[in-house]
Amino acid sequence: MTEHLDVVIVGAGLSGVGAAATLARRMPGSRFAVLESRDVIGGTWDLFRYPGVRSDSDMYTLGYAARPWPGEKAIADGDDIREYVRRTAEETGVRDRVRFRTRVVAASWRSDRSRWELTLLHRDPAATGEWREGEAGTTSTITCSFLFGCTGYYRYDEGYSPEIPGLGDFAGTVVHPQHWPADLDPAGKRFVIIGSGATAVTLVPALAKRGAHAVMLQRSPTYVAAVPSRDRLALRLKGRLPASLAYRIVRTKHILGSIVLYQYARRRPAAMKAVLRNAAKAKLPASFDVDTHFAPRYDPWDQRLCAVPGGDLFRAITAGDADVVTDRIERIDERGVRLASGGRLDADVLVTATGLNVLVLGGIRLDVDGRPVDPGRTMAYKGFMLAGVPNLAYTIGYTNSSWTLRADLVANGVVDLLQRMRRRGTPVVTPQASEDTGPTAPVIDLAAGYIRRGLAQLPRQGARSPWKVHQNYLRELLLFRIDPRRRALRFEPAARRA
* pLDDT score recorded for residue 497: 47
383-403 mean pLDDT: 94
All domains of the chain, ordered by start, with CATH?
3-156+357-492 (3.50.50.60), 168-352 (3.50.50.60)
41-60 mean pLDDT: 94
DSSP string, 31-49: -EEEE-SSSSS-THHHH--
- The answer to whether residue 131 scores a pLDDT higher than 60 is yes
Contact of 21 with 92, CB cutoff 8 Å: yes
**What average pLDDT does the structure give for the chain?**
93
Please give the Cα distance from 6 to 109 (Å, whole number): 14
Percentage, residues of the chain above pLDDT 70: 98
Give the number of other CB atoms < 10 A from CB of residue 457: 17
E strand spans, 280-339: 306-309, 322-326, 329-333, 336-339
Please give the Cα distance from 259 to 60 (Å, whole number): 15
Axis-axis angle for helices 14-26, 78-91 (nearest 10): 20
- The answer to whether residue 484 scores a pLDDT higher than 70 is no
Please give the Cα distance from 329 to 311 (Å, whole number): 28
484-495 mean pLDDT: 81
pLDDT digits (tens, 9 = 90+) for 66-115: 999 998 899 999 999 999 999 999 999 999 999 999 999 999 999 999 99
pTM of the entire structure?
A: 0.94
The one-letter amino acid code at 357 reads N
- The answer to whether residue 403 scores a pLDDT higher than 90 is yes
pLDDT digits (tens, 9 = 90+) for 431-447: 998 767 778 888 887 76
Contact of 447 with 404, CB cutoff 8 Å: no
- The answer to whether residue 288 scores a pLDDT higher than 70 is yes
Please give the Cα distance from 331 to 166 (Å, whole number): 6
pLDDT band at 214 (very low <50, low <70, confident <90, very high): very high
DSSP bridge pairs for 285: none
* pLDDT score recorded for residue 485: 57
pLDDT digits (tens, 9 = 90+) for 304-357: 889 999 999 999 999 999 999 999 999 999 999 999 999 999 999 999 998 888
